[in-house]
Chains A and B, each alone.
Chain A
Amino acid sequence: MSKLSTEHLLGIKYIQTEDIQTILATAQNFKEIINRPIKKVPSLREITVANLFFENSTRTRLSFELAEKRLSADVVNFSASGSSVSKGETLTDTVNNILAMKVDMIVMRHPNPGAAVFLARELQKYPKSAHARIVNAGDGTHEHPTQALLDAFSMQQKFGNLKGLNVVIVGDITHSRVALSNIFCLKKLGANVKLCGPATLIPKHIESLGVQVEHDLKKALEWCDVANVLRIQLERQDIKYFPSLREYALQYGVNRQVLDSLSKPITILHPGPINRGVEITGEVADSEHSLILDQVENGVAVRMAVLYLLAGTPNA
């Protein structure tokens, strides 16, 4: 395998297992590089990347920007507030205008599910824009592929291999793009996946993706090697899915007591931002079993790998 099977990273669903392995192997090299005194390599010096953020973000945005800069790419940032989007410009027009300024790659976060796939299809209609590579940095409740890749990379660093690893994803599965990307990624890498949360936050028929559902947090944690704890996304909840945050924390909050009651220690992941005291207590988030800050470090390496491989894959 010496190139990716895809020109864009729109979601884990659309890439092959070999692509994931190539990305994770390349990320290993970049992790070594970002731990050097000089954290920069010149690979992407002829590339310009535009970061389009139509939705708020701290980690992902900074992580992508650092990844781009450490690859020596030129970077322009765009956020929807204060732009012509508020004057009614369409997504396709906005992107076409940016690409006309000789931009090579688009990293996009968008509140609407499927925005990245839509954009990739749309740009094919414009010969001048068809060269652009698109990286999905989260599209609504659909996918967040680089998060799943960095989660997989973090688990791989700790366990060596994901084959046969038991991973439980706890929390708001319905509204989580992290959950969906993680499910695709973990299944492709041969891990066993269980979902845990209140019935209202787990989509019906999700078992068709090859995962199991467990509503009892303690049972789920007892079964797993790794628990990926998700944030309760209040901003995406149009109706009440559970009575109160306090009740959610009592039923599904990961705390020291429940971890101590397990027969073996488990590893904790969280994609951030953390609501301390809701889905996870501060004590657990800061404990030695938590990989949360490793995830953030690995995020830069994984995103460097994605950008490097996509930019370096010649046009079909």
Chain B
Amino acid sequence: MIERLGLELLENFGNFDNTVIIGLQPRGVDFSVRLAKYLTGILGKPVNHGKLDITFHRDDFRRGTEVLLPNSTQIDFLVEGKNVILVDDVLYTGRSVRAGLDALLAFGRPAQVKLLVLIDRKYGRDLPLQADFTGKEVDTVSGQKVKVEWSKDGLNDRVILYTPHEKNE
């Protein structure tokens, strides 16, 4: 699936001279690292790649039972004027992506921002946001969870759809 998404990106963005990949913390980062690695292999040169933490832009601050703790942000290049591909593993309510967009714009004015997700949970959106590149669409009901697991060697990656039992929660 990474191969297909990677090739789709190459079709749209050519040699990646003016294009960067940014993974959303925490779970979009593993995916974006894989994607960048695949593209680097094909292009034969490094692809600009960063990670972005959205914690301070989230809309549920003070609304849960625990304080939201941040992850690190690392963007070692300018996003001004670039094509930015935001990468996350699962698109569901769209709230993380909204926060990600706000967080990203603090770094400058990109030429365009595209959203790439591995899994699109249809019918769950709270905000009017859609992905530009999607690995797979799945139909889910609220209460179910989708979890993406990345293995170190890349051979045992898997996507799990499950319904959490109360005793496990």
Contacts and interface: CB of A to CB of B under 8 A. Distances in A.
Interface in B59-75: 61-62, 64-73
Interface in A25-77: 25-26, 28-29, 32-33, 36-38, 40-44, 46, 71
A41 B68 contact: no
B64 A314 contact: yes
A308 B69 CA distance: 10
A308 to B, nearest CB: 8
A26 B70 contact: yes
A22 B66 CA distance: 13
A29 B62 contact: no
B57 A312 contact: no
Given A36-B107, A46-B62, A312-B61, A41 B56 contact: yes
Interface string A98-123: 00000000000000000000000000
A25 B61 CA distance: 18
A255 interface: no
8 contacts: A3-B67, A25-B69, A28-B72, A29-B53, A29-B56, A36-B106, A311-B62, A312-B67
A204 B67 CA distance: 41
B78 to A, nearest CB: 10
A41 B57 contact: yes
A97 B163 CA distance: 50
A309 interface: yes
Contact of B62 (A2, A28, A38, A314): A314
B62 A312 contact: yes
Given A2-B66, A36-B106, 12 more contacts: A22-B69, A25-B69, A26-B70, A29-B73, A32-B72, A37-B107, A40-B106, A41-B57, A43-B61, A44-B61, A312-B67, A312-B68
A175 B68 CA distance: 37
B84 to A, nearest CB: 16
Contact of A313 (B67, B106, B108): B67
A269 B120 CA distance: 52
A286 B108 CA distance: 35
B68 to A, nearest CB: 6
A26 B66 CA distance: 15
Contacts, number: 57
B102 interface: yes
B72 A29 contact: yes
A4 interface: yes
Contacts of B55: 29
Interface in A270-293: none
Nearest to A28: B72
Nearest to B71: A29
A309 B53 CA distance: 16
Nearest to A1: B69
B66 A314 contact: yes
A245 B46 CA distance: 61
Contact of A42 (B56, B70, B108): B56
B10 to A, nearest CB: 31
A33 B66 contact: no
A36 B106 CA distance: 8
Contacts of A312: 61-62, 67-68
- Which residue of A26, A38, A308 has the most chain B CB atoms within 10 A of its CB atom? A308
